Homo-oligomer: A and B are copies of this chain.
């Protein structure tokens, strides 16, 4: 919100705010049924006393523009519009409620919202800290970039040919042999999931996922009417998948390397086994491998590198390693599958940013990317040690955890089932933002996904101290 009342105006602060709110309702920016921010927050935003806000809201309620509901909260009144102009506006609330796509969980909406507040300490963010991003080198590479007019038009359906050729080489070195024609450039791995959801599955298909799973925190499949089924990886997996699948189409989503949120790494044997089971049952696999390059020790071969029957849809991205703002990821899959996904991508957004694609191709091709990854892994490892020292010192009696083998996360398990929405909200009041385990498994009240990648070391220290003090009060 940009507007603030003027201190030295002929109109009182109160009148200015009344006029401003009225005009927001009149212009339709504030719609019928919209929930106003709390009084305290309004006062903060407009830099006035809370008493001024109370006076304004009372006046607008008396005018019939606002109304209060039971349980608190002030809303734009149903008949506000009639009051103003005796006209009708679309019932947007109804439009939103009855539409197809699921909203984000409220907890995730709050996370998205509070992440904009720079005073928050972000203990859960799955993103590199600004200080870990190669900002200066990216700036330099922009300066050295030459543009060609053909580069900046609409791109080919599968994305920049140059980037696909560079990726074909790059992936080849990791044992994934693919031609550029079998690669699709997407705006991050999340978009790949969206495209797969509407482009490769009939409605009511089953999406098998690990337990817990990142997929529970987003809704690309749920919003398309798919059924999510969490499975445990044990000796009865084949039997379980066969029974649950029945005659329906299905798909197995896995993060085999540095699993989100647990950080687990699937062994080579487990990988072969999963591929064989899914191959026998004709269940395609989505291998989400966006953390692969952040392994501290030696690399594990991707499922895709053992795949000789076009069973695996492989996802990669630079969002976790180079810059999420680029919005560049890729899918590797059999050519007809890529053609299909590219066709839908063309109908969705006509391709990803040509500028971003050019930057990524440049970084991978010149080796800048590999150099940066080497340094990044070291820096993340230092951050891990720092956080582990704090945990060992202060959390040993209340929680357990595994030493991270790479990536961003420690899957911190509290001995007591205390991680609920109440705790999440209490921490927000103390300016600490966490990713509670229940967004990855609705029944989980034991875990938080602790990220050592985003906050500064000082913030990590302070945030963990606040977390501990609140837990001790529970």
A308 touches B146 (CB 8 A): no
- Nearest residue (CB) in B for A35 is B336
Residue from A96, A103, A280 having most chain B Cβ neighbours under 10 A: A96
A88 touches B355 (CB 8 A): no
Question: With A and B bound together, what is the CA distance between A30 and B343 in angstroms?
Answer: 17
Interface size for A (C-beta < 8 A) is: 118
Name the segment of A190-198, A257-265, A391-399, A444-452 touching the other chain: A190-198
Name the segment of A54-62, A199-207, A409-417 touching the other chain: A199-207
A348 touches B142 (CB 8 A): no
- Nearest residue (CB) in B for A203 is B100
A326 touches B355 (CB 8 A): yes
A340 touches B130 (CB 8 A): no
Question: With A and B bound together, what is the CA distance between A116 and B180 in angstroms?
Answer: 15
Identify which of residues 7-54 in chain A touch chain B, using a CB-to-CB cut-off of 8 Å.
26-31, 33-34
Name the segment of A219-227, A294-302, A370-378, A460-468 touching the other chain: A219-227
Question: With A and B bound together, what is the CA distance between A155 and B187 in angstroms?
Answer: 13
A282 in contact (CB, < 8 A): yes
A388 in contact (CB, < 8 A): no
A283 in contact (CB, < 8 A): yes
Q: A96-B200, A98-B249, A344-B101 are in contact. Are A153 and B130 (CB under 8 A)?
A: yes
Query: Which residue in B29, B145, B223, B308 is a CB contact (below 8 Å) of A179?
Result: B29
| Interface 1/0 per residue, A126-142 and B, CB below 8 Å | 01101101011011001
| Interface 1/0 per residue, A175-191 and B, CB below 8 Å | 00111111000011011
Q: A29-B178, A30-B334 are in contact. Are A220 and B311 (CB under 8 A)?
A: no
A453 CB, nearest partner CB in chain B, Å: 11
* Chain B residues, CB < 8 A from A201: 95, 98-100
A154 in contact (CB, < 8 A): yes
Give the number of copies in the complex. Answer: 2
Query: Which residue in B98, B187, B308, B325 is a CB contact (below 8 Å) of A202?
Result: B98
Q: A30-B334, A347-B219 are in contact. Are A145 and B148 (CB under 8 A)?
A: no
A87 in contact (CB, < 8 A): yes
A151 in contact (CB, < 8 A): yes
Q: A109-B343, A218-B347, A355-B326 are in contact. Are A310 and B90 (CB under 8 A)?
A: yes
Query: Which residue in B103, B143, B324, B350 is a CB contact (below 8 Å) of A190?
Result: B350
Identify which of residues 93-130 in chain A touch chain B, using a CB-to-CB cut-off of 8 Å.
93-96, 98-101, 103-104, 109, 112-113, 116, 127-128, 130
Identify which of residues 270-285 in chain A touch chain B, using a CB-to-CB cut-off of 8 Å.
279-280, 282-284
Q: A279-B88, A311-B28 are in contact. Are A350 and B336 (CB under 8 A)?
A: no
Query: Which residue in B135, B147, B178, B220 is a CB contact (below 8 Å) of A152?
Result: B135
* Chain B residues, CB < 8 A from A346: 104, 112
Question: With A and B bound together, what is the CA distance between A149 and B327 in angstroms?
Answer: 15
Question: With A and B bound together, what is the CA distance between A125 and B55 in angstroms?
Answer: 58
* Chain B residues, CB < 8 A from A336: 30-31, 33-34, 92-93, 96
B90 touches A282 (CB 8 A): yes
B327 touches A153 (CB 8 A): no
* Chain B residues, CB < 8 A from A199: 96, 99-101
Query: Which residue in B93, B323, B348 is a CB contact (below 8 Å) of A194?
Result: B348
8 interchain residue pairs of minimum CB distance: A28-B310, A325-B354, A130-B149, A353-B353, A152-B325, A98-B202, A89-B309, A101-B198
Which of A's residues lie within 8 Å of B, judged by CB? 1-3, 26-31, 33-34, 81, 85, 87-96, 98-101, 103-104, 109, 112-113, 116, 127-128, 130-131, 133, 135-136, 138-139, 142-143, 145-157, 165, 177-182, 187-188, 190-191, 194, 197-203, 218-220, 223-225, 249, 279-280, 282-284, 307-311, 319, 323-327, 334-337, 340, 343-344, 346-356, 359
A and B contact pairs by CB, cutoff 8 A, 19 listed: A27-B310, A90-B282, A90-B283, A90-B309, A93-B336, A98-B202, A100-B225, A101-B347, A112-B343, A113-B157, A130-B150, A139-B147, A142-B143, A142-B145, A190-B349, A194-B349, A326-B354, A327-B351, A353-B356
Known contacts A1-B181, A100-B224; 4 further A-B pairs (Cβ under 8 A): A30-B334, A34-B336, A96-B200, A127-B153
